[in-house]
Amino acid sequence: MQAINFGCSGFHLQNRSSRVLSTSAGFSNKKGTACIIGTPRDSFFGSRLSSGHMGLELGRFGAAADVGSVFHSSVKSRSIKAQASDGEVAPLKSQPKSSGSVLPYVGVASLGAILFGYHLGVVNGALEYLAKDLGWVVSSLLAGATVGSFTGGSLADQFGRTKTFLLDAIPLAIGAFLCATATNVQTMIVGRLLAGIGIGISSAIVPLYISEISPTEIRGTLGSINQLFICVGILAALVAGLPLAGNPLWWRTMFAIAVIPSVLLALGMAFSPESPRWLVQQRKIGQAEKAIKTLYGEGKVAEVMADLSASGQGSEEQDAGWFDLFSGRYFKVVSVGAALFLFQQMAGINAVVYYSTSVFRTAGVASDVAASALVGAANVFGTMIASSLMDKQGRKSLLMTSFSGMAISMLLLSLSFTWKVLAPYSGPLAVIGTVLYVLSFSLGAGPVPALLLPEIFASRIRAKAVALSLGMHWISNFVIGLYFLSVVTNFGISKVYLGFASICLLAVMYIAGNVVETKGRSLEDIERELSPAI
């Protein structure tokens, strides 16, 4: 059975013959192809929730909660705070009750995250039945994702968030159809390339849209759903591959299944409201008010419009160009976004998942199914915990805790391979280190960067800056996958793990000095602090 581990930035699959498939396309041989792939959210009313379901139990979200305030019409009036122009925090007026509901639209957008995970995971069992040259088939997905991630930002700025989702459904559906009906490797490569473009766009647009429509108080919780449903998509692909052993042609059905959520994504987005922030930026005031009414209720229209206008989003500033991202006004926040994804990739998630199966076998866990279940459970469990803490502990705190735990885990893994005094316990220690690392990763380093980026970027650069950061993520993922095995061969896995531990500690220091906390703050408040109008 396949072993699986994944995060927003880390992805590992191993099939029955222990072949590690890689979208990094840097190294392949007759026995298989190694690959590492990764990837890879606001309203103005103060509803909190303690528990809720999106088809999955997300766990406790914290005290003082009421999920009905999001689903239905009871939102308690309260005073919120906005950053005044002189830097002081001033209370705003009490808020009227809301009858809006954002969760159905978050659910529709999450179909993009499910498709992201499914298209990553579907290759796990299927490729051994359809091609001998796995390298091109697997790496074409990464190539398409890189193109799609850069393209997604421009499309979102030009056509809006919902229309970009509609466009995204086209390569996702066509790519899946071509893969399902392919009669040769060339057609399969084209299909995977199109699917890659689709998931590249999804990686940028899903967290962006969720961030822009989610209530401030639960934006972190809803934003982390993106990560959770990527996990769900990969697990769905794993389950979909179970009949392959008895039916070698089942791989066609596996690819065909992906057409269904693609169509549902398009249909759902056809009836979903556009981001009010994008509409105000485009000076479509009437449409923005209608979207606000749909999302938050009629009583919120005047308040939200006032906040959007106060943030400067209705000003004469046009959408930013790509070169504006490197201007003095925006360079710091853009560099923070790129650095978070760079640390995410350089922290060793791909190394841990690459060696996870061999680590478990050394410890006596010979079953790939058991290894897959253990690692997958740690990742999903950590993501659920992160969802419950995102709006309680904050993004910055989770990031620092996550990278600290990853550093400790890497040190434990390194010592388990080298210290003779630990030799009798090396197997169990390696398993503990691996599970602890995956759990730590899923608590912050996995879900937080994709959530935090849309929050810290100003409205006029948000789509392009998110796309740029995710594009750099895909590229760094490719480069790391290309050279990882040669580095391990030259230096040994123990020293490589020590290097990863050092990078994790550097990440903690960088985050402490450069990342701002966004918990409980509106996107407009954050924008006024980090990217004030000139």
367 with 268, same domain: the answer is no
Cα–Cα distance, 262 to 175 (Å, whole number): 10
Identify whether 73 is part of a domain: no
Same domain, 252 and 341: no
Query: Quick check: is 97 in a domain?
Result: no
Residue 250 forms part of a structural domain: yes
CA angle (343, 347, 352) in 5-degree steps: 150
- 448-456 vs 523-530: helix axis angle to the nearest 10? 70
Give how far Cα 40 sits from Cα of 228, 304, 336, 464, Å.
Answer: 11, 30, 16, 16
End position of a domain, from candidates 241, 272, 303:
272
Cβ count near 47 (within 10 Å): 23
> Percentage of residues in the chain with pLDDT exceeding 90?
28
327 and 262 within one domain? no
The answer on pLDDT for 187 being more than 60 is yes
| 99 or 150, greater pLDDT | 150
pLDDT of residue 314: 43
Alpha helices in 297-425 (DSSP H): 301-310, 331-346, 349-362, 368-389, 395-418
Residue 515: pLDDT above 70?
yes
The confidence score (pLDDT) of residue 233 equals: 87
User: Per-residue pLDDT for 531 more than 80?
Assistant: no
80 — pLDDT class (breaks 50, 70, 90):
very low
Query: Do 465 and 387 fall within a single domain?
Result: yes
Query: Which residues have a Cβ under 8 Å from the Cβ of 239 and sit 6 or more positions away?
Result: none
Name residue 3's beta-bridge partners. Answer: 14
Phi, psi of 124 (to 5 degrees): -55, -55
Encoded tokens for 131: 């091609």
> What type of residue sits at position 235?
L
| pLDDT for 100 beyond 80 | no
C-alpha 120/C-alpha 272 separation (Å) is 26
What domain count does the chain have?
A: 2
| Residue closest to 147 by CA, chosen among 181, 86, 90, 192 | 192
Binning pLDDT at 50, 70 and 90, where does residue 67 land?
very low
Q: Which has the minimum average pLDDT: 75-79, 247-251, 300-304, 469-473?
A: 75-79
In a domain, 150, yes or no: yes
Residues 331 and 476 in one domain: yes
> Which residues have a Cβ under 8 Å from the Cβ of 356 and sit 6 or more positions away?
3, 5, 12, 371, 375, 434
The answer to whether residues 526 and 467 belong to one domain is yes
Report if residue 486 sits inside a domain: yes
pLDDT at residue 60 is higher than 60: no
Whether 319 shows a pLDDT value over 80: the answer reads: no
Where a domain ends, among 242, 272, 302? Answer: 272
Whether 82 is in a domain gets the answer no
Residue 70 in tokens: 């999001």
User: Please, what is the Cα angle at 128 between 125 and 129, to 5 degrees?
Assistant: 95
* Residue 291 structure tokens: 């979207």
Task: For residue 48, give Cα distances in angstroms to 98, 219, 276.
Answer: 13, 10, 21
Question: What are residue 32's DSSP bridge partners?
Answer: 29
Contact by Cβ (8 Å): 236, 76: no
Pairing of strands 3-6, 11-14: antiparallel
C-beta separation of 135 from 28 below 8 A? yes
Per-residue pLDDT at 73 exceeds 50: no
In this structure, the answer to whether residues 135 and 233 fall within a common structural domain is: yes
Average pLDDT over residues 486-510: 90
Tell me the residue range of the domain where 223 lies. Answer: 102-272
Q: Mean pLDDT for the chain?
A: 76
Asked whether residue 46 is assigned to any structural domain, the reply reads no
- Mean pLDDT over 340-356 rounds to 81
For residue 66, name the pLDDT band (cuts at 50, 70, 90).
Answer: very low
* CA–CA separation, 462 and 113 (whole Å): 19
d(CA 259, CA 267): 12
- Residue 370 — pLDDT band, cuts 50, 70, 90? low
**Whole-number Å distance between alpha carbons of 317 and 74:** 37
CATH code for the domain of 214 = 1.20.1250.20
Distance CA 451, CA 221 (A): 9
**Residues 255-281, mean pLDDT to the nearest whole number:** 94
390-441 confidence digits (pLDDT tens): 888 889 999 999 999 999 999 988 888 788 777 777 778 888 888 899 899 9
Angle subtended at Cα 143 by Cα 142 and Cα 146, rounded to the nearest 5 degrees = 85
Q: Is 271 exposed, middle or buried (0-12, 13-18, 19+ CB in 10 A)?
A: exposed
Q: Cα(181)–Cα(314) distance, rounded to whole angstroms?
A: 48
The position carrying tokens 């830097």 is 87
Does 324 share its domain with 448?
Answer: yes
Mean pLDDT confidence for 219-244: 83
CA distance 429 to 361: 13
Q: How confident is the model at residue 339 (pLDDT cuts 50, 70, 90)?
A: very high
Q: Write down the pLDDT at residue 533.
A: 62
Point out the least confidently predicted range of 209-213, 364-368, 490-494.
364-368
Q: Is 531 left (phi over 0), alpha (psi -120 to 50) or beta?
A: beta
pLDDT score of 15 more than 90: no
Whether residue 57 has pLDDT greater than 60: no
User: What per-residue confidence (pLDDT) applies to 131?
Assistant: 55
Global pTM reads 0.70
Return the amino acid letter for 211: S
Same domain, 132 and 258: yes
Give the residue, 286 or 246, on which the prediction is more confident: 286
Q: If you ran DSSP here, which 8-state letter would residue 21 be given? A: P
Residue 197 in tokens: 């473009």
> Distance between CA 516 and CA 532 in Å, rounded?
15
Q: 16 vs 174, which has greater pLDDT?
A: 174
Task: Determine contact, residues 386/442, Cβ cutoff 8 Å.
Answer: yes
Tokens of 215: 């209530």
Where does residue 20 fall: left (phi above 0), alpha (psi -120 to 50 degrees), or beta otherwise?
beta
Cα gap 192→138, rounded to integer Å = 8
What gap in Å lies between CA 188 and CA 178, rounded to an integer?
Answer: 7
Phi then psi for residue 224, to 5 deg, are: -75, -10
Q: Cα(36)–Cα(23) distance, rounded to whole angstroms?
A: 6
Same domain, 265 and 381: no
Q: In the predicted model, is pLDDT for residue 89 greater than 60?
A: no
Q: 396 with 495, same domain?
A: yes
| Residue 513 domain-assigned (yes or no) | yes
Length of the chain: 534
- Asked whether residue 219 falls in the same domain as residue 326, the answer is no
H/E element, 164: helix 161-181
